[in-house]
Structure 1
């Protein structure tokens, strides 16, 4: 059983989670990049992380990269064929879909209001974000660059954008009061205490049923 200090830490963590700031990765290939993004997402209070793949396989989580952050976020995988339906559902729920992509309507990532319910979509390492997703974007953003190389590693780019979102939300006092309902918070807390207890007893190994959820449409 966890001690009171550990439980209080989980309570504090949940009070700062931002359920209306979410991340989706469009067919990201590198498990190292996914792991680094999970760590950055947890650092700014993201609760839900989604990723699509063309194969029916999960990406490996590198615990030396996440440093345990994967245990304090929810991870969902979907097949590539389902991502358009997923994005339309998010838009129906009131999320603005913010996509990283270079085109005529692109604006600096700093010009977006991330205090709104936001789903940030990042492209894969080779092709970027797919055209079908760009068509669904409410906002298209770029990270201004002054060097010869005109792109950043996807995990670095995600971290930069998420910390701009964190800055705006912190200025707006969004981390001062818990956004999660009491019922939702208690449900997640019970799951995390159970999972944390298992992880500690098994030296960090978590059963597969706790790793991620598979989305289907």
Structure 2
């Protein structure tokens, strides 16, 4: 762990936006899902919600270029289940949908707890999802096509959310809990040891100021004594 790497990890965690997320309503194309996850990471979203398509989807790790390491993906069997969980946590559901009810995407206040709902590639947001959403938005178009690709549309909306949150000074200060910060910091700094601890139900050891184990030989000796092979 280099000092630069450790500083980057801490900076990313200090910019995480726990009250901003995306939920996809059966988006099934792998490259679109991966691109959405990558954008989530870029704007500081740490948790992405995905309603599993009834027809399934292909693996989508290629386009993300490692983003899946940094963004937790929560899968849901139905949009009703996913939306219900988000609403229980205080999220407002904003659906990207071409309709008479929709307002321009930049007219929405994204500094409030917001989950952006993106529909499937061909059909868009389902009727079931629209019945549960709190707001519908559109991205004004100037060409012959009616809409952007779903991953591009999501990125446009998220960049606006990021802009608003930057103006509100919601970045650059830790907004996740101390427990989540410490747990995530350890997993990212020491992934192999974190996996070892998770498999054996062990508490994570302490990190020093450089992201390495504090007193590693002492911890290894303790583990060997208490958990012999």
Asked if these proteins are the same fold (TM beyond 0.5), I'd say yes
Secondary structure of the residue aligned to 1:66 is coil
In the superposition, relative to structure 1, how do residues 124 and 170 fare at CA in structure 2: closer, same or farther (>3 Å)?
Answer: same
Secondary structure of the residue aligned to 1:75 is strand
Looking at structure 2, the residues matched to 182 and 107 of structure 1 have their Cα atoms a distance apart, in angstroms, of 37
- Report the equivalent of 1:22: 21
Structure with greater contact order relative to length (CA < 8 Å, sep ≥ 6): 1
Looking at structure 2, the residues matched to 142 and 124 of structure 1 have their Cα atoms a distance apart, in angstroms, of 15
Q: 1:16 touches 1:176 (CA, 8 Å); kept in 2?
A: yes
For the pair shown, which has the larger CA radius of gyration, 1 or 2?
A: 2
1:189 Cα deviation after fit? 1.1
- Pairing partner for 1:119 from 115, 119, 130: 115
Please give the residue correspondences for 1:155-166 in structure 2 after superposition, counting only pairs within 5 Å: 155-166=151-162
1:56 Cα deviation after fit? 8.6
Q: Does 1:39 align with 2:38?
A: yes
Q: Deviations over 1:36-87 (max 9, x none)?
A: 1111111100111111123496641333x2122221111122223xx21321
Please give the residue correspondences for 1:64-143 in structure 2 after superposition, counting only pairs within 5 Å: 65-80=63-78, 83-143=79-139
How many residues end up aligned between the 2 structures?
195
1:102 Cα deviation after fit? 1.6
Mean Cα deviation higher: 108-117 or 3-12: 3-12
Give the TM-score of the pair, scaled to structure 1: 0.84
Question: How well do the aligned residues superpose, as a CA RMSD in angstroms?
Answer: 2.0
Unaligned runs of 5+ in 2: 199-229
- Report the equivalent of 2:5: 6
1:8 Cα deviation after fit? 1.8
Give the TM-score of the pair, scaled to structure 2: 0.80
